[in-house]
């Protein structure tokens, strides 16, 4: 998160971040909790709605930006991450956040997770994970375990599940966390940390689909989740580069646990330079001051580029 | 009047490109204009044949490229076989006599199809299937042949300059052929030296050695094809290729966000923009004066899906953004192009089209993607497709494309091709400030405000709000929506929004000048008009010089289609459509929009560009009554 997003004025309330229309999700859908948590975080951080951009793909989850009073883009299935990266790199002073489902972010859009991690752009990804495709009526999502048969499936799932946080960690995300949507307060706490993180952050939020996932229900999750905060001595933060290997190893151990699902921050490393910082140091020192979206490109209709100097080595 | 066509051919990756650049720059620095194109098999340095074919003249444009050249420089025996029919009567071919005994069969990198075809031809003609035999055949066709023992010459020269390693010496072959070529062209050696220095860049010692090679080798040749006396050019000139011209056009046009995934023949466009970072600016404002240079984000993404999505995001942030690709990449971009239409975001997509479906002919040209550019993206939405005819036009069009994407908030496909991408020229520098950079200003509020980004407007254009700048809160959306930008399927709203978006088409048609829609050349009362689009332009214009009474209509704006203008130009005329695809797509397009049917079509789809001679052949056959003419020349 960049310092410019904090505005000195009367602090906004969660209510101030509600858009003009109410959510259209099925009653009881896990996604409500995430929306609620997000509004709380925005209020707590007093985010400027005109500089905060929510980007989503397609899915029940991807509808979330329509319920929030910030700038947003509801794009197409799978492409929220590259869209958000383009937006952020064009104007790094914006606060950019992606929300989407397991299908959107890890099936059709999976390759972009790999691309994003390698760059470590300063943005946040909220994975609203229900292990099914809610919007298209309950088909298997990429996080649905092998052999499971939620009610829309005519046969057990022949695909094994992928582990999104392991993928994100392997790709280079520098903030990896997990939350559970029915625990709104805790979800808000984790989202807030993710937003404040400098670098690419991802939060997997278990968000039950009450209509189609009749197996991975509230009861199912609640039997398995626990909070890392209660683990004595748990410190996911890389304070020194030498610790990185150790911290990753410990994160992986938690992420791989098949029986108990750790909630909380699993890994956090702010020592890795963001893509914006890399760009400024490798390409253009003026980048932070004059990113693409802010640059004047013409004056009275005349291009500001000095063509003759630009092409000096080519003029005869 | 000076006009010499030439060809440099040799194994891919063994200096053909460097040799061509040396020669172009050498001739250019002597005050001449040059243009030509590079043809190659993939980009692998695996010994496949590659060549450069072009023209030098004392004026711009130098005229089209015909089917045969006057000067051919063959770097190896393989090249002799490839171009056995490509040198004109009275022309000169330079080759290595040390390869005389090599047989056609022994060149494993020649396509087996070509080996069979040539073997048969040699048998019929009683020609021995060796380099020597091929050379003798060329002589029998009136070609003067200059044979030199390349390795021996280099050994001799090497002794004088202190280089003896055969590996090192073999690296001078490109300079050798250029020096021989320059001598044949009567070009003083100092210009060759300039070419050498330019082509070899920073390698000081290597440059010196090559200059010495050039000086020594140049002395060996006494024949002349032409005498290029150094001249004072009439204008400031520039050396560049098509990829670079378009890349710079976008930069001049204000594009500051460029995302791409590498693919031939597009990559050199974004990579040039990257290499040129940061860009020098005029002291237009105090801020810019202090900065001196501005940057741009040039982002290599994980695939084309990401490339165009990132450009879309950058456009939403308010940057002028662009991506570049060829057919396979554009296929991956299809869904986002449709989104740009619905969400109303402006992105420039430079389509460097290549030949064939699927991976096809990755390094060859074709005009196969006209329909694909027009119809890409599901649903109906306004877009712009603009096809450039030559390198100069492509530069200006890149600026216009950037303007239009920004102004109309639609995807703009700038349609160019492999032919243009690898067209190299020394030509009059364009006037970079002759095209206005028109940037719509965003609305900026004092106090934070909720706004309708999709307000129903008369001209169909969205009001410009930018995140972090406008102090506005609004939603951008890919679903059909209400003015606030939230999904809405109410029948009345659906129609209203649809109408509003489509009204952009009228607005664009009204505002885009006629000269960007079509250009007509030739007599106003021509009874036959050649109709074409894209990079056939220099060849058609050149052929037109020999077709008195024939006109040429160049289609530029292909979507939205300027039906009235086209009808006005074609009504009552005989039309011959000339283009690089199988189905004569532009003839079908014209029929669809104007009801005018082609009287004849001349098509070429063998991966090679249409030459000026092809155009003449097409016209001749058309005049004799042929309706469908398939062109096949292979240069
Ligand atoms: C290119 C494309 N293919 C398929 C679809 C259909 N589709 C819409 S949403 C969706 C899956 C959504 O699942 P998820 O992302 O997990 O979100 P959820 O609805 O579960 O929150 C699919 C397949 C589409 N919109 N676009
Ligand atoms: S279908 Fe599932 S995910 Fe979609 S709104 Fe209903 S409960 Fe939520
Ligand atoms: Mg889902």
Residue B582 φ/ψ, nearest 5 degrees? -80, -40
| Contact call for B238 and A315, based on CB within 8 A | yes
Q: CA–CA separation, B385 vs A307, rounded Å?
A: 26
Q: Residues B76, B78, B79, B85: is their CA dihedral positive or negative? A: positive
Could you report the per-residue pLDDT of B526-546, keeping only the tens digit for each? 999 999 999 999 999 999 999
Q: Which residues are paired to A73 by β-bridges?
A: A55, B476
Give chain A positions within 8 Å (CB) of B316.
53, 73, 83, 87
Predicted confidence at residue B364, as pLDDT, reads 96
Predicted confidence at residue A291, as pLDDT, reads 97
Could you report the per-residue pLDDT of A16-31, keeping only the tens digit for each? 999 999 999 999 999 9
Contacts of A144 (CB under 8 A, 6+ apart): A131, A132, A150, A157, A159, A161, A216
Cα-to-centroid distance, A103 and ligand 1 (Å):
6
Residue B435 φ/ψ, nearest 5 degrees? -100, 125
Strands B411-417 and B347-353: parallel
The three-point CA angle A295-A296-A300 to 5° equals 170
Superfamily classification of domain B3-218: Pyruvate-ferredoxin oxidoreductase, PFOR, domain III (3.40.920.10)
Strand, coil or helix: what is A207? coil
| Domain that residue A133 falls in | 12-290
* CATH number (domain holding residue A166): 3.40.50.970
| Gap from B90 CA to chain A (nearest CA, Å) | 32
| Contact call for A79 and B336, based on CB within 8 A | yes
Cα-to-centroid distance, B472 and ligand 1 (Å):
29
Predicted confidence at residue A195, as pLDDT, reads 98
SS3 content of chain B, % helix, strand, coil (to 5): 40, 20, 40
Show the ligand 2 pocket: residues with CB < 6 angstroms: A 25-26, 29, 31, 60, 130, 134-135, 209-212
Predicted confidence at residue A280, as pLDDT, reads 96
Residue A119 predicted with pLDDT over 90: yes
Residue A276 CA from chain centroid, whole number: 17
Tokens 């960690």 appear where?
Answer: A169
Q: CA–CA separation, A297 vs B319, rounded Å?
A: 10
| Contact call for B472 and A50, based on CB within 8 A | yes
Predicted confidence at residue B43, as pLDDT, reads 67
**Would residue A304 count as lying in a domain?**
no
Beta strands in chain A (DSSP E): 52-56, 71-74, 95-101, 124-129, 132-133, 139-140, 175-180, 201-206, 225-227, 261-268, 298-299, 302-303
Closest residue to B314, CB basis, from A58, A90, A114: A90
**Would residue A2 count as lying in a domain?**
no
Q: What is the mean pLDDT of residues A69-84?
A: 98
Predicted confidence at residue B45, as pLDDT, reads 66
**What is the total count of domains within chain A?**
1
| Gap from A22 CA to chain B (nearest CA, Å) | 11
**Would residue A307 count as lying in a domain?**
no
Which residue ranges of chain B lie beneath pLDDT 50?
Answer: none
| Contact call for B288 and A94, based on CB within 8 A | no
Contacts of A75 (CB under 8 A, 6+ apart): A55, A56, A57, A58, A83, B309, B312, B339, B343, B478
Token pair of B563 as six digits: 């039906």
**Would residue A141 count as lying in a domain?**
yes
CB within 8 Å of chain B, chain A residues 16-75: 19-21, 48-51, 53, 55, 58, 63, 65-66, 69-75
**Would residue A224 count as lying in a domain?**
yes
Most A CBs within 10 Å, among B253, B258, B462, B467, to test the A interface = B467
Tell me whether A9 touches chain B (CB under 8 Å): no
Strand, coil or helix: what is A33? helix
Residue A6 predicted with pLDDT over 90: no
Residue B131 φ/ψ, nearest 5 degrees? -60, -45
Q: What is the CATH number of domain B239-428?
A: 3.40.50.970
Q: What is the CATH number of domain B514-630?
A: 3.40.50.920
Predicted confidence at residue B14, as pLDDT, reads 84
Closest residue to A303, CB basis, from B253, B295, B317: B253
| Stated pTM of the model | 0.97
Give chain A positions within 8 Å (CB) of B298.
283
Could you report the per-residue pLDDT of B434-446, keeping only the tens digit for each? 999 999 999 999 9
Predicted confidence at residue A1, as pLDDT, reads 53
Cβ neighbour number for residue B121 with a 10 Å cutoff? 14
Q: CA–CA separation, B295 vs B278, rounded Å?
A: 5
Q: Residue B149 in contact with residue B97, Cβ under 8 Å? A: yes
Tokens 């009235």 appear where?
Answer: B564
Give chain A positions within 8 Å (CB) of B303.
111
Q: Residue A32 in contact with residue A52, Cβ under 8 Å? A: no
Q: Residue A206 in contact with residue A264, Cβ under 8 Å? A: no
Q: Give the ipTM of the model, two decimals please.
A: 0.96
Residue A247 predicted with pLDDT over 90: yes
Cα-to-centroid distance, A102 and ligand 2 (Å):
13
Q: Residue A182 in contact with residue A156, Cβ under 8 Å? A: no
> CATH 3.40.50.920 occupies which residues in chain B?
514-630
**Angle between helix B391-408 and helix B491-511 axes, rounded to 10 deg:** 140
Beta strands in B227-365 (DSSP E): 237-241, 255-260, 279-280, 293-294, 297-300, 320-325, 347-353
**Would residue A301 count as lying in a domain?**
no
In this structure, the residue with its CA closest to atom 8 of ligand 2 is: A29
Cα-to-centroid distance, A104 and ligand 2 (Å):
14
The three-point CA angle B145-B148-B153 to 5° equals 160
Range list of H helices, B185-221: 189-200, 204-218
Q: What is the mean pLDDT of residues A111-126?
A: 98
Token pair of B588 as six digits: 């079908």
Strand, coil or helix: what is B386? strand
Please name the residue of chain A whose CA is at the shortest distance from the CA of residue B433: A302
- B249: closest CA among B263, B261, B238, B233? B238
């Amino acid at each position: 998160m960049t310092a410019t997003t904090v505005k000195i004025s009367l602090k906004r309330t969660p209510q101030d971040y509600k858009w003009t229309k109410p959510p259209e999700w099925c009653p009881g859908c896990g996604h409500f909790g995430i929306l609620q948590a997000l509004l709380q975080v925005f209020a707590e951080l007093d985010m400027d709605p005109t500089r905060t951009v929510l980007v989503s793909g397609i899915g029940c989850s991807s509808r979330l930006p329509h319920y929030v009073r910030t700038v947003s883009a509801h794009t197409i299935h799978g492409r929220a991450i590259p869209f958000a990266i383009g937006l952020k790199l064009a104007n790094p002073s914006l606060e950019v956040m992606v929300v989407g489902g397991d299908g959107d972010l890890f099936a059709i859009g999976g390759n972009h997770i790999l691309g994003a991690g390698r760059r470590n752009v300063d943005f946040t990804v909220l994975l609203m994970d229900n292990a099914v495709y809610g919007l298209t009526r309950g088909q298997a999502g990429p996080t649905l375990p092998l052999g499971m048969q939620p009610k829309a499936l005519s046969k057990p799932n022949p695909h094994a599940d992928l582990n999104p946080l392991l993928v994100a960690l392997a790709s280079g995300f520098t903030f990896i966390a997990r939350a559970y949507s029915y625990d709104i307060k805790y979800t808000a706490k984790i989202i807030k940390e993710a937003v404040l993180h400098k670098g690419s952050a991802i939060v997997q939020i278990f968000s039950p689909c009450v209509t189609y996932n009749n197996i991975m229900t509230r009861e199912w999750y609640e039997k398995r989740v626990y909070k890392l905060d209660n683990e004595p001595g748990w410190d996911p933060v890389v304070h020194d580069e030498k610790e990185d290997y150790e911290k990753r190893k410990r994160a992986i151990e938690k992420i791989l646990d098949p029986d108990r699902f750790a909630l909380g921050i699993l890994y956090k490393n702010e020592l890795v330079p963001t893509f914006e910082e890399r760009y400024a140091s490798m390409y253009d020192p003026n980048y932070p001051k004059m990113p693409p979206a802010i640059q004047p490109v013409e004056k009275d209709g005349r291009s500001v580029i000095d063509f003759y100097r630009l092409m000096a080595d080519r003029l005869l | 009047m000076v006009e010499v066509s030439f060809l440099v051919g040799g194994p891919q990756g063994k200096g053909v490109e460097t040799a061509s650049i040396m020669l172009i720059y050498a001739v250019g620095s002597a005050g001449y204009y040059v243009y030509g194109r590079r043809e190659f098999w993939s980009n692998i340095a695996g010994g496949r044949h590659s060549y450069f074919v072009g023209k030098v003249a004392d004026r711009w444009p130098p005229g089209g490229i015909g089917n045969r050249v006057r000067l051919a420089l063959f770097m190896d025996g393989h090249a002799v076989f490839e171009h056995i029919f490509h040198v004109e009567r009275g022309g000169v071919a330079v080759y290595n006599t040390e390869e005389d005994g090599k047989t056609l069969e022994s060149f494993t990198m020649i396509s087996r199809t070509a080996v069979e075809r040539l073997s048969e031809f040699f048998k019929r003609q009683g020609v021995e299937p060796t380099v020597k035999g091929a050379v003798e055949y060329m002589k029998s066709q009136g070609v003067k042949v200059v044979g030199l023992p390349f390795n021996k010459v280099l050994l001799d020269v090497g002794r004088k300059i202190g280089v003896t390693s055969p590996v090192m010496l073999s690296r001078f072959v490109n300079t050798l052929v250029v020096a021989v070529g320059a001598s044949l062209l009567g070009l003083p050696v100092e210009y060759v030296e300039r070419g050498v220095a330019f082509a070899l860049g920073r390698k000081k010692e290597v440059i010196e050695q090559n200059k010495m090679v050039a000086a020594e080798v140049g002395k060996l040749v006494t024949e002349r094809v032409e005498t290029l006396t150094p001249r004072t050019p009439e204008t400031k000139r520039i050396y560049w290729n098509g990829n670079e011209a378009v890349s710079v056009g976008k930069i001049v046009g204000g594009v500051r966000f460029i995302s791409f995934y590498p693919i031939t023949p597009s990559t050199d466009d974004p990579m040039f923009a990257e290499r040129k970072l940061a860009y020098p600016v005029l002291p237009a404002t105090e801020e810019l004066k202090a900065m001196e240079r501005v940057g741009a984000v040039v982002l290599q993404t994980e695939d084309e899906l990401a490339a165009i999505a990132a450009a879309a995001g950058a456009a939403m942030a308010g940057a002028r953004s662009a991506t570049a690709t060829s057919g396979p990449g554009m296929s991956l971009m299809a869904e986002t192009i449709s989104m740009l239409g619905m969400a109303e975001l402006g992105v420039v997509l430079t389509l460097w089209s290549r030949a064939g479906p699927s991976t096809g002919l990755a390094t060859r040209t074709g005009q196969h993607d006209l329909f694909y550019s027009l119809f890409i993206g599901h649903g109906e939405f306004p877009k712009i497709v603009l096809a450039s005819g030559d390198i100069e036009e492509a530069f200006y069009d890149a600026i216009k494309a950037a303007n239009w994407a920004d102004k109309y908030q639609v995807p703009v496909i700038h349609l160019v091709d492999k032919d243009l991408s690898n067209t190299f020229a020394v030509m009059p520098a364009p006037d970079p400030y002759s095209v206005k950079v028109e940037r719509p200003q965003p609305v900026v509020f004092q106090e934070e405000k909720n706004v309708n980004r999709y307000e129903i407007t008369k001209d169909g254009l969205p009001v410009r709000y930018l995140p972090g700048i406008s102090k506005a809160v609004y939603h951008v959306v890919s679903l059909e929506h209400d003015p606030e930008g939230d999904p809405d399927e109410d029948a009345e709203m659906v129609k209203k929004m649809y109408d509003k978006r489509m009204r952009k088409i009228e607005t664009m048609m009204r505002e885009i000048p006629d000269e960007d829609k079509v250009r007509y050349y030739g007599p106003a009362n021509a009874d036959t008009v050649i109709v074409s689009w894209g990079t056939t332009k220099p060849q058609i214009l050149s052929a037109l010089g020999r077709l008195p009474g024939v006109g040429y209509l160049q289609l530029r704006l292909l979507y939205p289609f300027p039906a009235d203008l086209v009808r006005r130009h074609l009504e009552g005329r005989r039309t011959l459509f000339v283009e690089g695809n199988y189905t004569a797509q532009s003839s079908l397009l014209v029929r669809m929009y104007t009801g005018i049917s082609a009287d004849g079509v001349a098509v070429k789809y063998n991966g090679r560009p249409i030459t000026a001679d092809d155009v003449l052949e097409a016209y001749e056959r058309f005049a004799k009554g042929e309706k469908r003419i398939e062109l096949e020349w292979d240069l």
